[in-house]
Amino acid sequence: MSEPLNIGVLASGNGSNLQAIVDRIEAGAIRAQVACVITNNSDAFALERAKRHGIPAFFLDHRLFASREEYDAALVEKLREHGVRLVVLAGFMRIITPILLNAFPLSIMNIHPALLPAFPGLHAQRQALQYGVKVSGCTVHFVDEGTDTGPIIIQAAVPVLDDDTEETLASRIRHEEHRIYPEAVRLFVENGLRVVGRRVIITDMVSTRS
């Protein structure tokens, strides 16, 4: 049997999606291991989550680097040091440069709290409420050089209620994030994803709603 695939998680804050992925791995649903967690924020709770599960965790301060490219080169070095094959962005509040993208082609995932291509960028829930949509949700996608423009892997929809605030809508969306992000990781690990142009084709036969 092959060795578990090594995942590197980049996070800047709470790390709830990191937790969801770790929980699924520990439950035996994903044949992988989180090999390292890296953050650019020394106060990120993601560091504590990693510590609780015995995962190597590192604070890499972006302010110590002269450019985004130099910082990403340091990220690549640390990720490769831990044998990472899939990079998962879990609330990582940094713009990714080609240095990192080229080191892990079609192997960097992100989750966005909207049904892309609608409402990319920051404050997606606020954008959804201001626009008056009746349905919102979340999207797992591969990362490219654009802002939330990479090939879409999985989406999940949630209703937008008349009395929703940004916080209540975000909470409803987050529940779905914790379901579909681990599933996208599982599909990658099991070679259940194939990218054709801008499309991601799911070749895995297990339902993504399981």
Domain CATH number, residue 50:
3.40.50.170
Active site residue 112: yes
Handedness of CA 80, 7, 46, 106 (dihedral sign): positive
- The answer to whether 39 and 47 are in contact (CB under 8 A) is yes
The tens digit of pLDDT for each residue in 24-48 reads: 999 999 999 999 999 999 999 999 9
List 82, 112, 175, 178, catalytic entry:
112
Q: What is the pLDDT of residue 205?
A: 54
- How many Cβ atoms are within 10 Å of 162's Cβ, its own excluded? 6
- CA–CA separation, 53 and 9 (whole Å): 14
- Whether the predicted model's global pTM rises above the 0.75 cut: yes
The DSSP secondary-structure symbol of 145 reads S
| Final residue of a structural domain among 76, 105, 134 | 105
Whether residues 97 and 129 fall in one domain: no
On whether the CB atoms of residues 62 and 34 are closer than 8 A, the answer is no
Question: Are residues 1 and 101 located together in one domain of the fold?
Answer: yes
> Residue 2 has what pLDDT?
76
155 and 185 part of one domain: yes
109-168 tens-digit pLDDT: 999 999 999 999 999 999 999 999 999 999 999 999 999 999 999 999 999 999 999 999
For the stretch 49-106, pLDDT in tens is 999 999 999 999 999 999 999 999 999 999 999 999 999 999 999 999 999 999 999 9
Q: Are residues 199 and 136 in the same domain?
A: yes
Q: What is the three-class DSSP state of 127?
A: helix
Q: Is the pLDDT of residue 208 over 90?
A: no
Q: What is the mean pLDDT of the chain?
A: 96
Parent domain of 40 = 1-105
The count of domains in the chain is 2
